[in-house]
Chain A
Amino acid sequence: MRGGGGMLRVEGLRIAQGDFALSADFAVERGRRVAVIGPSGAGKSTLLNALGGYIDIAAGRIEVDGRDVTDAPPDKRGVAMLFQDGNLFPHLTLAQNVGLGIRPALRLSDAETAKVHEALERVGLAEFADRKPGDVSGGQQSRAALARVLVQAKPLLLLDEPFAALGPALRIEMLDLTSQVARDAGATVLMITHAPEDAERADDLIFVEAGRVDPPRPVADVMANLPEALRAYLGR
């Protein structure tokens, strides 16, 4: 058994960016869907970017799936991440974009091509495989990005509000699809959100404020007993 049940372990993490500092110490259980919530500028994106390996950390250790990935490059950390925008290359077709998730080369084997189409079908984009991102709707772009996450098959999925620009119904739909995709892949999910109703669809909740990261607690517990700061943030 790897990692003693902790899918993601963050130990003594410290990030310094000019005046801003963030520290975190927490673990996430395998298969959980964790909402990361907190005011703007609290450090939610910084935390996820650090977990993804996109920014330098000053100190600490990050373990994913029982493996120390503190110094690993973004693609070797067992992490897939969706950003607010720029999740697809506009000059490549949806199929090519998804294909890059399997192998950073566009010449795929027949089995791999089949996998790409399976993933596109899974998110309802089978007939859009040869379109470019600019030719499909925002929701369809999000689906294509999810299809890629599916083929990437990473144990940890980080969402930095990729669906923020979608309408409420579509956003909920995409979050559900994400949950299904994650469940199919057996992946753990960390997602930043501003909407309490989104947070309530998660299993656990991490509250981030002014560079301080609270360890995850079950959503039901938190909602039943809102801490002062979170209450202020939610306006309740």
Chain B
Amino acid sequence: MARRAQPVSPWAGIIAAGFVVAVVIAAFVGIGQRIETTTGLRAAEWQAVRFTVWQAFFSALISVVLAVPVARALARRRLPGHTLLVTLLGSPFILPVIVAVLGLLAIFGRNGWLNTALGVFGLPEVSIYGAHGVVLAHVFFNMPLATRLILQGWQSVPAEQFRMVGQLGLTPRMVFRIIEWPLLRQVVPGAFALIFVICLTSFAVALTLGGGPRATTIELAIYQAFRFDFDLGRAAVLSLLQLAVAGAAAVLALWILPPIALQTGRDRAVRRWDAPSLWGDVFWITLAAGFLLLPMLSIALSGLVGLFYMPFSVLTATWTTVWVASVSTVVLLVLALPMAAWLAQAKWGGAEALTLLGLVASPLMIGTGWFILIYPYVSPTAFALPVTALINAMMALPFAVRILLPPMRQVFNDYGRLSMGLGLRSLALWRFVLVPRLRPQIGFAAGLTAALSVGDLGVVALFADPDVATLPLQMYRLMGAYRTEAAAGAALVLVALAFGMFWMCDAWGRRHAAG
């Protein structure tokens, strides 16, 4: 049975989704205009498809499997530094690729801390390069995100249920069966699909840590087709192939997803009566913190020296970057909030797969397509920054919607009728009900977008104005000009900025969380 009336009109969301679809289709149309001849796909590219799917599957699987105990530990323990750690969980995800790779290698590389420690004990060296290195790097990037998504699910379990657990004296095994397993079935497929799709589009990380062309992904083939062979036909075919793989993953995940069961509880702080194994939780939290923070620490240490070598232009680039990231964040919210509201009220959530479009359609593809479209009319250089901001927002869209959707459903479930009865709709509803209720999630999503945008080199590199550079672009320029130390300094500024913007948004969300 269809709901008679909906508190929020679905149209804004449908229009937002239509906009995203239109941006991607227009890019394909742009490219389509210029396809001349194409060599089609070669054996090497099919091998790339296989490797891409394989590594994305295992990266997502391991990220999610490790995230579960960490999220559980964080949900039921408040060790010192809890808040800081939860915030820091957003950070690896937003690191620029090359910075993260160097950070990881400082720990796991040949001369890294791990191998140095092994050497001290006379143990053999461990090599990070290979398929396991690819997975390790992807887990480093994405496990924190998975943890936050799962933690969010855990925190949505009403306090009443844990009270009941305490009263019944349930064993951890029973708690898992009765509360946690149904919860994980709700949260994990979505998180898995999201990480699978991010890893699909990985390219430089996979190549570098994979140790060579064995670790070729579809995205590398797309890059090669666009920038090296300039075979637009092959580039378009590969982009479509990537879309198809991601689409299949999304459909599969939604198919596994059980029907949505909402739980009503009151806003109460959760006090847990189960949680028997303190040391187990401490173990998981420490492990996750070490794994995530040591590479960050090494980035910070090498960057500190570089700060002194950093040219002034890094500061101007910082300003540009803040500007682009802010615009991205606003665009994201304008797209994500109505889409989440639309999906939250829809009977079938399958349309959520549309949010993946911007992430899977390679930025290179969207950038090139739009370049072809706008070039006859205006200088693409003038649009480099706005287009970058838009593409960054589109890349962040699936994360934002995934974060917003479950609590949005809950709000409609709990307060939909009341709001309708009071005639709260459109802006008033957003202002008085949805935004205050969803504040923590809005803050988290906005922070993630801002940070992602800070760290992303983006399409700005495709047709940049030499005088307007973003921070990542400036960092790559420094690296390209042998200024490794200054680049490390710029990387530190970049990480600090990304993290600062993330922290501001996230803290805004959590400080005044409704309650």
Contacts and interface: CB of A to CB of B under 8 A. Distances in A.
B436 A91 contact: yes
B432 A75 contact: no
Contacts of A91: 267, 436-437, 514-515
A57 B4 CA distance: 8
B422 A75 contact: yes
B230 interface: no
Interface stretch (A1-9, A100-108, A180-188, A194-202): A100-108
Contacts of A81: 417, 421
B3 A55 contact: yes
Contacts of A101: 422
B515 A74 contact: no
B515 A53 contact: no
Interface stretch (B22-30, B196-204, B247-255, B423-431): B423-431
Contact of A104 (B264, B425, B436): B425
Contacts of A53: 4-5, 420
A230 to B, nearest CB: 29
B418 A56 contact: no
Interface string B397-433: 0000000000000000011011011111100110011
A212 to B, nearest CB: 20
Interface stretch (A82-90, A123-131, A219-227): A82-90
B1 A17 contact: yes
B428 A104 contact: yes
B249 to A, nearest CB: 33
Nearest to A105: B428
Contacts of A16: 1
Nearest to A86: B414
Contact of A90 (B4, B421, B425, B515): B515
Given A56-B2, A104-B428, A74 B421 contact: yes
Contact of A106 (B3, B267, B425, B432): B432
Interface string A120-144: 0000000000000010000000000
B266 interface: yes
Contacts of A83: 417-418
A98 B428 CA distance: 15
Contact of B424 (A85, A86, A100, A152): A100
Interface string A41-84: 00000000100111111000000000000000111100111010
Given A85-B264, A90-B515, A52 B421 contact: yes
Contacts of B5: 53-54, 73-74
Nearest to A50: B4
Given A74-B417, A90-B514, A104-B432, A56 B422 contact: no
Interface in B234-290: 264, 266-268
B227 to A, nearest CB: 50
Contacts of B267: 90-91, 134
A56 B421 contact: no
A210 interface: no
A53 B268 CA distance: 31
Contacts of A79: 421
A18 interface: yes
A106 B268 CA distance: 25
A101 B415 CA distance: 14
Contacts of A100: 422, 424, 432
Nearest to B439: A91
Q: Say which size band chain A's interface belongs to.
A: 20 to 34
A96 B433 CA distance: 12
A156 to B, nearest CB: 12
Interface string B324-338: 000000000000000
Interface in B1-59: 1-5
Contacts of B433: 89
Given A91-B436, A92-B432, A134-B267, A54 B415 contact: no
A134 B422 contact: no
Contacts of B3: 55-56
Given A56-B4, A104-B428, A89 B418 contact: yes
B107 to A, nearest CB: 43
Contacts of B437: 89, 91
Nearest to A101: B422
Contacts of B514: 90-91
A90 B418 CA distance: 12
A76 B425 CA distance: 12
Interface in B494-515: 514-515
Nearest to A84: B264
A235 B415 CA distance: 36
Nearest to A73: B5
Nearest to A154: B421
Q: Which of A53, A73, A81, A106 has the most CB of B within 10 A?
A: A73
A37 to B, nearest CB: 22
Nearest to B7: A74
A101 B419 CA distance: 10
Nearest to A102: B422
Nearest to B415: A86
Nearest to B428: A104
A56 B515 contact: no
Contacts of B436: 89, 91-92
B420 A55 contact: no
A97 to B, nearest CB: 9
Given A90-B267, A91-B514, A104 B423 contact: yes
Q: Which of B429, B432, B437, B514: most chain A CB closer than 10 A?
A: B432
A53 B264 CA distance: 22
Given A55-B3, A134-B266, A134-B515, A86 B418 contact: yes
B422 to A, nearest CB: 5
Contacts of B1: 16-18, 55-56
Nearest to B6: A73
Contacts of A134: 266-268, 515
13 contacts: A17-B1, A52-B421, A53-B420, A56-B2, A57-B4, A73-B423, A74-B423, A75-B420, A75-B422, A86-B414, A86-B418, A91-B515, A101-B422
Interface of B: 1-5, 264, 266-268, 414-415, 417-418, 420-425, 428-429, 432-433, 436-437, 514-515
Given A86-B415, A100-B432, A104-B423, 4 more contacts: A17-B1, A91-B436, A91-B437, A92-B436
